[in-house]
Amino acid sequence: METPLAHKRFHPDTTQCGNREFRWGERTYIMGIINMSLDSFSGDGFGGNIDKALKQAKRFIAEGADVIDIGGESTRPGSQPILPDDEISRVIPIIERLSAEINVPISIDTGKSAVAIRALRAGANMINDIWGLKQDNQLVEVAAEAGVPLVITSNQRNQLCRQDIINEVTTDLKRSINIAEKAGVFKRNIIIDPGIGFGKTLEQNLEIIRRLTELKPLNRPILLGTSRKSMIGLVLDLPTDKRLEGTAATVAIGIANGADIIRVHDVRQMVLVCRMSDAIIRRSKGEY
């Protein structure tokens, strides 16, 4: 039996993140979400409760998370931006605690260079920029100088409607990849995210997952973040805390169409979805 085209054509470089290697194509990697914001869309924001956040991060690791993503600013539609100092005060204490107590890489979810600098000093090993290098021109320089993996997201908020969302996302990601490489970010450190949710309609989000394999010519690993998002609620008419099965469906189909790493709130359940999907798609049981 032939390996599915989405995975057969893709042989990107291995990415070193902290003390871990991500060998893209061998299995699907899992990013566990820790929100330190006060108004997370999914209702799981820890605010200033560091002990509770630390407990959840450790539980995620025990359940099979490959990287922990720490964010201090809500990205839900309509949320108000916060100052870098406020974001720093939310994320640095938990990153310092985690980096001293766990051996799994830590990602900082931010679009601000000042936050990224402090987070990397505190022990973070990856930058996850949901703005695709559009918000802060210095962020890419921080990633290049530190030599850490950089997730760049295609974000269409505050833009005009698109006729072909895949073409829009592809063009947007190419632009961000070029910016990153020109700044000195190694290609092996670039991870792309089509940006489910960010400024896209329900139909466009569904189409991105359906046509995810069309991003493979960019020759970079794909991060897919669908966990509990509004498109699932719109399709199934369910609140955020009832979207587990819908998330599982998007993860399984995303892996079939080429996703290499998934960003999720429910690590234990999604590890099982990834393991089963990988056994079918990659013909590999993997080690989770």
> Is the Cα torsion angle 221, 212, 193, 268 positive or negative in sign?
negative
Tokens for 120?
Answer: 């990397």
Q: Look at 14-28, 107-121, 153-167, 258-272 and tell me which has the smallest mean pLDDT.
A: 153-167
Residue-range domain boundaries for the chain: 5-281
Q: Give percent of the chain with pLDDT exceeding 90.
A: 82
Helix axes 202-210, 165-183, angle to 10 degrees: 70
Distance, CA of 44 to CA of 34 (rounded, Å): 8
Inter-helix orientation angle 84-101/113-122, to 10°:
20
Indicate whether 33 pLDDT > 50. Answer: yes
Question: What confidence category does residue 287 fall into, taking pLDDT thresholds of 50, 70 and 90?
Answer: low
- Segment 223-281, tens digit of pLDDT: 999 999 999 999 999 999 999 999 999 999 999 999 999 999 999 999 999 999 999 99
The catalytic residue positions are: 229, 263
pLDDT, average across residues 45-65: 89
Rounded to a whole number of angstroms, the distance between the first and last alpha carbons of the chain is 25
- pLDDT score at 75: 72
Mean pLDDT of the region 12-40: 89
Give the model's pLDDT for residue 63. Answer: 98
Instruction: Provide the percentage of residues in the chain whose pLDDT is more than 70.
Output: 89
Q: pLDDT tier at 48 (50, 70, 90 boundaries)? A: confident
Question: Residue 128: which of 217, 67, 59 has the closest Cα?
Answer: 67
Whether the per-residue pLDDT at 9 is higher than 70: the answer is no
Mean pLDDT of 103-123: 97
Tokens linked to 142: 């921080």
Secondary structure of residue 129 in the 3-state scheme: strand
CATH 3.40.50.2000 given to domain 5-281: no
161 CB burial (10 A radius; 0-12, 13-18, 19+)? exposed
Please give the mean pLDDT across all residues of the chain: 91
pLDDT of residue 118: 98
* pLDDT tops 50 at residue 27: yes
Predicted pLDDT of residue 288: 62
What is the tens place of the pLDDT at every residue in 156-201? 987 765 679 999 999 999 999 999 999 999 999 999 999 999 999 9
Given a cut of 80, is residue 1 above it in pLDDT?
Answer: no
Confidence bin at 3 (pLDDT 50/70/90) = very low
pLDDT of residue 77: 67
pLDDT at residue 237, as a whole number: 97
- Amino acid type, 153: T
